[in-house]
């Protein structure tokens, strides 16, 4: 028997590849299936089952394409109603894979169909728990995403989650290894650990949700401080439930090279969003006007979902040469399949064609420290509220990037400075603001990390929320 965790840091997502005596199972696969297919051939095994812990909200699974390519059965837990062929298991149903078995444990709460899979090894020992979004390391799945589908409140779902965890998972042995679907950085939880594998025994000690004295306390603890889910979550659930365009077709369509003239015409004709995925330093000094910048070198896919919102939005890519397919792959993982092509030759070709370029007004932290007048200048910090509350520039306003569509309506008439932790998020914000016509700001390169090394006063005192 072999268990391999395939962890994708950009999505903070764990898929699992399991083999035993010539057969294999894959749990919660990513959208692109070629790596799995190559591995099956390399290992000389047959894929028997594709297990889905639930209808994922934060990414599009590769289950449909993988089943099509291998004829393996897709398995869901009880109450799931996919529109494609799948095995909807009963609670505690057992599936044989080589010399091991995987037992379905129905654990509603995160969603109604949510299920965990308990691996029993060749000796009959309960060895591993693939816990999906029911149990994370340091946290549990958020109980607010399935309210509409289940016609329940988040408190009612949290109550179901309590029963699932405390009556079905916690009775398992301490040495059972927990393999969750997500780790730190995922929007599917609020308190996840950076580690991606742990024992159930250790989770009993360190996971706040597993140390609540009663059900009411559990409900209060897991529903406290939940941030609004990204808007694309519902659309990803629908794609996972009803199916989607084959991954290869999505990539083929997106890899259409467009000359500067064709690129410009396509953008106008389709009201396409121009997405620039290049490095921050390259974007700042010259980009196609109206472009939105989300760099491939950061948490690209989640920020695309949070900022662009509509997965059907037509998109045109500006990317570093050779990175186009990577960008398309990562877009498809979160359901953004409507990429119409990319700028052939990149920004160099755009310039050579005599097209206009735009720039972002940016300064470094040293210049910022010289220019800013605390108590007079407006400073907008687009980090998470928790980051801001820990330490920030004295007098700065907390306006997280995730809520830019709300707070951008109230930005000051006067000039303001914009920063995040290291520059990635503030440049996303800068590109969005500039595309909307705002030019009365300066973005600070290096963000708070660089600013904190200057002599500017910082504080943990929370400033008033109003910008005007």
pLDDT tens digits for range 126-160: 999 999 999 999 999 999 999 999 999 999 999 99
Query: Which residue's entry shows tokens 């095994």?
Result: 45
Average the pLDDT over 56-81 and give the result.
97
Tens-digit pLDDT profile for residues 163-199? 999 999 999 999 999 999 999 989 898 889 999 999 9
pLDDT of 444 above 90: yes
CA distances to 92, 229, 263, 301, 325 from 112, rounded to whole Å, are: 16, 18, 44, 26, 35
Domains, the chain, ordered by start: 2-234 (3.60.15.10), 245-352 (3.40.250.10), 362-459 (3.40.250.10)
Question: What is the DSSP pairing of strand 13-20 with strand 23-27?
Answer: antiparallel
Per-residue confidence (pLDDT) for residue 396, from 0 to 100 = 95
Q: Across 173-289, where does the E strand assignment appear?
A: 177-180, 198-199, 257-258, 273-276
Per-residue confidence (pLDDT) for residue 297, from 0 to 100 = 93
Average the pLDDT over 215-224 and give the result.
97
Q: For residue 231, what pLDDT band results from cuts at 50, 70 and 90?
A: confident
Average the pLDDT over 340-358 and give the result.
98
Q: For residue 465, what pLDDT band results from cuts at 50, 70 and 90?
A: low
Q: For residue 210, what pLDDT band results from cuts at 50, 70 and 90?
A: very high
What is the distance of C-alpha 465 from the center of its chain?
Answer: 27
Average the pLDDT over 291-319 and give the result.
95
Per-residue confidence (pLDDT) for residue 461, from 0 to 100 = 82
Pick the closest to residue 204 from 163, 171, 159 (CA basis): 171
* Structure tokens, 369: 């420290």
* Cα separation, 59 vs 276, whole angstroms: 21
pLDDT of 464 above 90: no
Give the HSE-up count for residue 435: Cα atoms under 13 Å, Cβ half-sphere: 21
Average the pLDDT over 268-273 and give the result.
98
Q: For residue 367, what pLDDT band results from cuts at 50, 70 and 90?
A: very high
Q: Which long-range contacts (CB under 8 A, 24 or more apart) does 156-160 make?
A: 157/108, 157/109, 157/110, 158/109, 158/218, 158/219, 158/222, 158/223, 159/109, 159/215, 159/219, 160/108, 160/109
Looking at the DSSP assignment, which residues form a beta bridge with residue 6?
15
Tens-digit pLDDT profile for residues 14-42? 999 999 999 999 999 999 999 999 999 99
* Structural element, H or E, at residue 64: helix 63-70
Task: Please list, residue by residue across 238-254, b when 16 or more beta carbons sit within 10 angstroms of its beta carbon and e when fewer do.
Answer: bbbbeebeebeebbeeb
pLDDT of 466 above 80: no
Per-residue confidence (pLDDT) for residue 191, from 0 to 100 = 87
Per-residue confidence (pLDDT) for residue 463, from 0 to 100 = 61
- Cβ atoms of residues 79 and 164 within 8 Å: no
- Other CB atoms closer than 10 Å to residue 65's CB: what's the count? 23
Q: For residue 412, what pLDDT band results from cuts at 50, 70 and 90?
A: confident
Looking at the DSSP assignment, which residues form a beta bridge with residue 120?
101, 126
Per-residue confidence (pLDDT) for residue 462, from 0 to 100 = 78
pLDDT of 400 above 70: yes
Q: What is the DSSP letter of 403?
A: G
- Cβ atoms of residues 328 and 250 within 8 Å: yes
Phi, psi at 287, each rounded to 5°: -150, 160
Per-residue confidence (pLDDT) for residue 467, from 0 to 100 = 62
**Higher-scoring residue by pLDDT: 291, 227:** 291
Query: How is the beta sheet containing 441-444 ordered, strand by strand?
Result: 362-363, 441-444, 416-419, 378-381, 397-398
* Cα separation, 422 vs 179, whole angstroms: 31
């Amino acid at each position: 028997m072999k268990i391999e965790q395939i962890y994708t840091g950009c999505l903070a997502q764990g898929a699992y590849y399991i083999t035993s005596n010539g057969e294999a199972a894959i749990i919660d696969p990513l959208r692109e299936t070629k790596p799995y297919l190559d591995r099956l051939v390399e290992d000389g095994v047959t894929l028997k089952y594709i297990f889905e812990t639930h209808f994922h909200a934060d990414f599009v699974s590769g289950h449909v394409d993988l089943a099509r390519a291998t004829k393996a059965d897709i398995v869901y837990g009880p109450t799931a109603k996919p529109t494609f062929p799948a095995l909807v298991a009963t609670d505690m149903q057992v599936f044989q894979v080589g010399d091991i078995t995987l037992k379905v444990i129905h654990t509603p709460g995160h969603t109604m169909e949510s299920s965990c899979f308990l691996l029993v090894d060749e000796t009959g020992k309960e060895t591993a728990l693939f816990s999906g979004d029911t149990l994370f390391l340091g946290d549990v799945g958020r109980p607010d995403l399935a309210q509409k589908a289940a016609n329940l409140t988040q408190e009612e779902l949290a109550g179901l989650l309590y029963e699932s965890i405390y009556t079905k998972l916690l009775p398992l042995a301490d040495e059972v290894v927990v393999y969750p679907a997500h780790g730190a950085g995922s929007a599917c939880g609020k308190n996840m650990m950076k580690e991606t594998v742990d024992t159930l025994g250790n989770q009993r000690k360190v996971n706040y949700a597993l140390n609540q004295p009663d059900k009411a306390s559990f409900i209060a603890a897991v529903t406290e401080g939940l941030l609004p889910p990204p808007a694309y979550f519902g659309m990803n659930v629908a794609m996972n439930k009803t199916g989607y365009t084959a991954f290869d077709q999505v990539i083929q369509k997106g890899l259409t090279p467009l000359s500067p003239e064709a690129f410009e015409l396509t953008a106008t004709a389709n009201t396409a969003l121009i997405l620039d995925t290049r490095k921050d330093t390259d974007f700042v000094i010259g980009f196609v006007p109206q472009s939105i910048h989300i760099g491939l070198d950061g948490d690209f896919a989640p920020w695309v979902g949070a900022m662009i919102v509509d997965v059907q939005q037509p998109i045109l890519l500006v990317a570093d040469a050779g990175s186009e397919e990577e960008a398309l792959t990562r877009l498809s993982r979160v359901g953004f399949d409507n990429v119409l092509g990319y700028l052939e030759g990149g920004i160099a070709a755009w310039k050579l064609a005599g097209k206009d370029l735009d720039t972002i007004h940016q300064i470094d932290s040293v210049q910022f420290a010289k220019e800013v007048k605390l108590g007079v200048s407006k400073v907008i910090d687009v980090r998470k509220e928790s980051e801001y509350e820990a330490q920030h520039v004295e007098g700065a306003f907390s306006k997280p990037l995730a809520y830019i569509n709300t707070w951008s309506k109230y930005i000051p008439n006067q000039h303001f400075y914009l920063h995040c932790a290291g520059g990635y998020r503030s440049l996303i914000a800068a590109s969005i603001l500039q595309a909307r016509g705002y030019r009365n700001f300066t973005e600070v390169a290096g963000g708070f990390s660089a600013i904190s090394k200057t002599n500017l006063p910082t504080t943990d005192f929370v400033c008033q929320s109003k910008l005007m």
